[in-house]
Chain A
Amino acid sequence: MTGLRTEEFVVNMGPQHPSTHGVCRLMLTMSGEKVIKIEPVIGYLHRAIEKICENRTYNQCIPMMDRFEYVTSMSSNMVFALAAEKLAELEVPERAEYLRVIMLELNRIASHLIFYGVTAMDLGALTPFLYGLREREMIVDLFEMTCGQRLTYNYIRVGGVSKDIPKEFVPKCRETVKTIREKLLDYEGLLNENPIWLVRNKKVGVLPTDLAIAYGVSGPVARASGIDFDLRRDDPYSIYDRFDWDVPVRHNCDCYDRYLLRLDEIKQSLNIIDQALDGLPEGPVQAPKFKPMSFKPPAGEVYSRIENSRGEMGCYLVSDGTTKPVRVKLRGGSYSQLQALPHFGTGGMIADLVAIFASLDIILPEVDR
């Protein structure tokens, strides 16, 4: 084979590639079919949400948060509301806290169901997508019934939630929980032992524990790399310390474990919802005497963080005592996950990279803001 010349070449994956889940561009240096270097190029979805928030009152910022992380916009509402409430030392009524937990957990399940469907579709299986979206539809119906929206909920506000649930909510929610619990067996049956699924996921994209910590990787991806850390348990916010549930942790660090871990998390979220529905008290859902338009938290700064379905979601908020925040800095789990990708995603085929990217469950609006 003399005279045959080989050279590395650069392939652009994205920004319009279906498996980059949005507009992310990965500049891949390839040697044949093997990926030897990844360089993420982001910013295609930068909408300057942080700058816009500096120009809005506190409750006007909440709709901006919906656009920050739209797959679980309940969480992004929550992280901002928590920060503002902490600054103002605002007490939230008991019923609102319970409703928040129910909504956050429902939203987490909805997000993991999207992960389940989309990941499988990226790897060539269409059926799981239909299954996942079918059950997600039930959850979205619950949200629509509560706040009139199916994607950008604007439901969790500073001082409570925007409105009380309708009386059909609780029975419908219990029915949804029951259905998803049954359907989980179908999900597992479809993929868990599927030979193609195993070959595509097992021992692919191994993210070592120390690398995960060094790059600030959190949430399900970190827990699948053996890091036993969940903010709901370790730095409890809202009323998470009242419920009895487990934090699933897995130790193989690969794509397959990340997938299994998310299914485990759905089960735990269902447990939390059950308990929250049982304990749901009567009462108001907004803090009394709270006036959104003249809400002025005293000067100060706070970093609040919650456990989102993509890891730690944080909000650093600075107030100077006026109606508008001085600084809103948002931190999303996807940001750190994407940053870590070039350091463990190389060495495989380009098709493996699709599996790795899907298993990290990155969404780009959270990265670009």
Chain B
Amino acid sequence: MTKDALKDYVAGHYEGKLTPLDTGRFDLWFEVKAGDLVEVAQSLRDDEQLKFDFLCNIGGVDTTERFEAVYSLASTVHKHRIDLKVVMSHDAPEVDSVQQVWPGANWFEREMWELYGINVKNHDNLTRFLLPDEWDQGHPMRKDWDAPDFIRMPEPGQ
């Protein structure tokens, strides 16, 4: 399926659930509501035309106004790829786990929970992961995170 055909297919079959985003400009990006995530993920994986069976990556983002979780999906059968984005509030970020769809999501979600403080519901193992066991300084990947020895570099030329 070409990129345009894929876009039309996804936009047609997931109307109201997946909203196209233009932030990616080159790849296909869709926004999905946190409540629909697992259902949409399951159907993206099982649809014979799409077969998004391969989870490349999950990345958390802190835009200072909100949190985002980005799911990069690929198909080993049809070789195409899309990205999904879930937007969460900055006060109480929360998202469902997609482990039951792609078991490989486990570690990515665990990392997101630890570094961003995004609560992952129905995750089987939210425990310390990359940071030291005795870590008590919050979620370091957040933009408002601060530590005495963390110095922000000025813009070049300033």
Is A235's CB under 8 angstroms from B102's CB? no
A residues 294-315 in Cβ contact with B at 8 Å: 294, 299-303, 305, 312, 314
Q: Mark A26-68, 1 if CB is under 8 A from B, else 0.
A: 0000000000000000110010101100011100000000000
Proximity string of chain A (224-239) to chain B, C-beta cutoff 8 Å, 1 when within and 0 when not? 0001010000110000
Report the separation of the CA atoms of residues A147 and B155 in the bound assembly, to the nearest whole angstrom. Answer: 28
| With A214-B102, A303-B27: A329-B152 Cβ-Cβ less than 8 Å | no
Q: Is B24's beta carbon under 8 Å from chain A?
A: yes
Taking the nearest CB of chain A, how far is it from the CB of B99, in angstroms?
Answer: 10
A-B pairs with beta carbons under 8 A, tally: 98
Residue of B107, B129, B141 with most chain A CB atoms under a 10 A cut-off: B107
In the complex, chain B residues whose CB is within 8 Å of the CB of A235? 74, 79, 81
Please state if B156 and A216 are interface contacts (CB–CB under 8 Å): no
Binary CB contact string for chain A from 321 to 338 against chain B (1 if under 8 A, 0 otherwise): 011101101010001100
- Residues of B near A55 (CB, < 8 A) are 152-153
Interface of chain A: mostly helix, strand, loop or mixed: mixed
Kindly state whether residue B104 has any CB partner on chain A within 8 Å: yes
Q: How large is the interface on B (under 10, 10 to 19, 20 to 34, 35 or more residues)?
A: 35 or more
**Which residue of A229, A305, A368 contacts B130 across the interface (Cβ within 8 Å)?**
A368
Closest beta carbon of chain A to B22's beta carbon, Å: 9
Q: Which residues of A contact B54 (CB under 8 A)?
A: 213, 216, 218
Known: A235-B81, A316-B72, A327-B61. A216 touches B155 (CB 8 A): no
Q: Number of A residues whose C-beta is below 8 Å from B?
A: 45
B138 shortest CB reach to chain A, Å:
13
With a cutoff of 8 Å between Cβ atoms, the chain A residues found around residue B104 in the complex are 214-216, 336, 339-340
A316 near B79: Cβ-Cβ < 8 Å: no
CB <8 Å contact, A300 and B24? yes
Q: Does A200 contact B (CB under 8 A)?
A: no
In this complex, what residue of B is CB-closest to A312? B56
Q: What 4 A-B pairs have minimum CB-CB distances, sorted nearest first?
A: A329-B59, A216-B104, A215-B104, A43-B130
Q: Show the binding face of B for A, using Cβ within 8 Å.
A: 23-27, 29, 53-57, 59-63, 70, 72, 74, 76, 79, 81, 83, 102-104, 106-107, 128-132, 140-141, 152-153, 155-157
Contact residues of A with B, CB < 8 Å? 42-43, 46, 48, 50-51, 55-57, 86, 213-216, 218, 227, 229, 234-235, 293-294, 299-303, 305, 312, 314, 316, 318, 322-324, 326-327, 329, 331, 335-336, 339-340, 343, 368-369
